[in-house]
Structure 1
């Protein structure tokens, strides 16, 4: 029997997968580093001793118009960190998923209390972001809470070590090793470009084992594409500016076509006599079915779900040995999964944001 501890560990690893973000750095100013110490900064093999990495450094320099000597010198200081390889290795096949257990990791008193404090400290900024993008404050707050408990857990790995390790020593056990290693190489390139452009020491920044950075855990490409200067101080700072964090998360969702005023999901029941679950589950979390089509296949929607103007997906959240939880996910539910490809993650963001909103309303009398 798989222990509860092992299940929880596997689920946390799934949740911690990196997002794919970036930002058009209009303003080129230095990004401050976090003050937390690096994890295993001196552990492992120096990459300067590997010819394949030095050849890659020259290719990166050419593609990104960077100084080859600087890229070589930077990568030569990076270290292979075995803990990163272990962290990115997927859990064993057959490890059960459990939505109730997963949810309890994120929708809990510590995060809710921290979320209330964050919301009250940033009411005007959250309202401005929502007004400009249509992304609800609760979703923005939910993302930041799930990712880093509002800046409390930013990650202690040197970003250069994480990205270099995953570019050149991605675990063979992963079923998509080639594609994932190629992805992290593009993120390494983006990181080198970002730090060079902003005058930041590439050895200084700390983040997750996957190289995600700051309060919203943006990958380097996302920092470059979606990070915005929301506090008008002429730089994008996702480590220290809560306004930039809020604006950038909202901008990310707007870029992925968040639809103003649209719910994220609707409750469902099943007409077992007509249920075609195989067809409903085939598209996974991609909205595919109109409400009438979904009902024809045996899904019973409430009045709001029946009136939904777009497409829906049947979302299944497994509960271990207990029956799964199902909802009908909208296009906006799918947008949340662009931050992290997981229906469990998206629902945790939604539920945490709602829990914080309710706590703020109870404490202040503010409308939700």
Structure 2
């Protein structure tokens, strides 16, 4: 025991000595230069000012306050290889009792706006409710990053190690400044996700400028504080991308047993490419409603880990949902959550 105690004391003294000496000898990395001083940012400001007839000094003044956001860089990197995709596990993250209850409360509180959006744009209330629930848990998780910091970081300091999307984020940074000017707010006051998505529906600034609507009639668009604006904007987005009123998004289907015929139906991925007759000719078995559908459909597959995949026949409306988020898992979760909330009401 005495030898063990002596060893512990020796190690502790060594750690104490290291802690005392490290700050004096270690060098901190130099601070990142202010964005408004960098040549590429100044060129961005000049180009943007020329496009919109602004003073470039105003653009630089806004960017002077932007701060490098390392978390945005880290979260932008692809996830490391891990477990295979599992639709059942993905679904369970969203279609669960607390989120369903919150969705029912959201629907109850905003029933008039949801009904008005459905009447105007043809998008069912349960689809809108499903999107808000999957995106932000009905406003509980909207993100607290300053959009100005995130978008400046990803526009001018996009992380290496994955495909470069800095051009996309430069455009979104421009759209953020346009939004701020239009709504007469400081760009630094707008907060959202690590990628710059804002508000209850998690619209990127460009989507706000193109598709958001003033659905509460107050003369402003506020997707964070106004649930009515968020509801109307989601419905308008889907309508603008081709949502068809009264059309189901999916039909039940059993895929062909023949591997070649199944591969043929899966080849276009989520793009509706086959009518009901083509499904039947390939050996797929559609539900009666699917057999009666007179439009094109896609055979949509989602993986279930080590279990066999699950399939639905996705219509044009399913494809429209994937324009909101380019994932068949996402679209199915939206539909299932919306249906669960509707049933709970």
Q: Provide closer, same or farther for how the CA distance between residues 208 and 163 of structure 1 changes in structure 2, counting only shifts above 3 A.
A: same
Once the two structures are TM-superposed, the CA of residue 273 in structure 1 deviates from its matched residue by 3.9
Once the two structures are TM-superposed, the CA of residue 227 in structure 1 deviates from its matched residue by 0.9
1:148, 1:215 within 8 Å by CA — same for their partners in 2?
yes
Among residues 304, 307, 313, which one is paired with 1:319 in the alignment? 304
Q: Which residue of 2 aligns with 1:216?
A: 201
Q: Which residue of 2 aligns with 1:165?
A: 153
TM-score, normalised to structure 2, is: 0.88
Q: Provide closer, same or farther for how the CA distance between residues 273 and 341 of structure 1 changes in structure 2, counting only shifts above 3 A.
A: closer
Instruction: Select the structure that is richer in helix.
Output: 2
Among residues 330, 337, 342, which one is paired with 1:352 in the alignment? 337
Partners of 1:217 and 1:84 lie apart in 2 by 16
> After superposition, what is the alpha-carbon deviation per residue over 1:320-356, rounded to whole angstroms, capped at 9, x for unaligned?
1111111110000001111000000000100110110
Q: Would you say 1:103 and 2:87 are equivalent positions? A: no
Q: Which residue of 1 aligns with 2:142?
A: 154
Name the SS for the 2:189 alignment partner.
Answer: coil
CA RMSD of aligned residues (A): 1.6
Which one has more relative contact order, counting CA pairs under 8 Å at least 6 apart? 1
Partners of 1:65 and 1:101 lie apart in 2 by 50
Q: Would you say 1:135 and 2:138 are equivalent positions? A: no
Q: Which residue of 1 aligns with 2:4?
A: none
Q: Which residue of 1 aligns with 2:111?
A: 123
Name the SS for the 2:312 alignment partner.
Answer: strand
Partners of 1:347 and 1:282 lie apart in 2 by 19
Partners of 1:89 and 1:66 lie apart in 2 by 35
Partners of 1:272 and 1:95 lie apart in 2 by 27
2:151, 2:172 within 8 Å by CA — same for their partners in 1?
yes
Among residues 75, 82, 101, which one is paired with 1:87 in the alignment? 75
Partners of 1:264 and 1:317 lie apart in 2 by 16
Aligned length: 315
Q: Would you say 1:202 and 2:187 are equivalent positions? A: yes
Q: Which residue of 1 aligns with 2:244?
A: 259
Q: Which residue of 1 aligns with 2:292?
A: 307
Q: Which residue of 1 aligns with 2:264?
A: 279
> After superposition, what is the alpha-carbon deviation per residue over 1:11-53, rounded to whole angstroms, capped at 9, x for unaligned?
xxxxxxxxxxxxxxxxxxxxxxxxxxxxxxxx96532342222
Q: Would you say 1:47 and 2:51 are equivalent positions? A: no
Residue ranges of structure 1 left out of the alignment (5+ in a row): 1-42, 361-368
Q: Which residue of 1 aligns with 2:100?
A: 112
Q: Provide closer, same or farther for how the CA distance between residues 97 and 44 of structure 1 changes in structure 2, counting only shifts above 3 A.
A: farther
Name the SS for the 1:276 alignment partner.
Answer: helix
Name the SS for the 1:203 alignment partner.
Answer: helix
Partners of 1:343 and 1:151 lie apart in 2 by 23
> After superposition, what is the alpha-carbon deviation per residue over 1:167-196, rounded to whole angstroms, capped at 9, x for unaligned?
112222223x1xx22111111111111101
Among residues 205, 218, 221, which one is paired with 1:233 in the alignment? 218
Partners of 2:195 and 2:161 lie apart in 1 by 17
Q: Which residue of 2 aligns with 1:332?
A: 317
Partners of 1:92 and 1:45 lie apart in 2 by 31
> After superposition, what is the alpha-carbon deviation per residue over 1:124-167, rounded to whole angstroms, capped at 9, x for unaligned?
11111111111000000000111111111110100001111111
Once the two structures are TM-superposed, the CA of residue 105 in structure 1 deviates from its matched residue by 1.1
Q: Provide closer, same or farther for how the CA distance between residues 233 and 53 of structure 1 changes in structure 2, counting only shifts above 3 A.
A: same
Partners of 1:274 and 1:339 lie apart in 2 by 31
Q: Provide closer, same or farther for how the CA distance between residues 172 and 298 of structure 1 changes in structure 2, counting only shifts above 3 A.
A: farther
TM-score, normalised to structure 1, is: 0.82
Structure showing greater Rg: 2
Name the SS for the 2:161 alignment partner.
Answer: coil
> After superposition, what is the alpha-carbon deviation per residue over 1:88-136, rounded to whole angstroms, capped at 9, x for unaligned?
1112356521111111111111211110111011111111111111100
1:275, 1:297 within 8 Å by CA — same for their partners in 2?
no
Q: Which residue of 1 aligns with 2:22?
A: none
1:130, 1:250 within 8 Å by CA — same for their partners in 2?
yes
Partners of 1:98 and 1:136 lie apart in 2 by 28
Q: Would you say 1:298 and 2:283 are equivalent positions? A: yes
Partners of 2:270 and 2:215 lie apart in 1 by 32
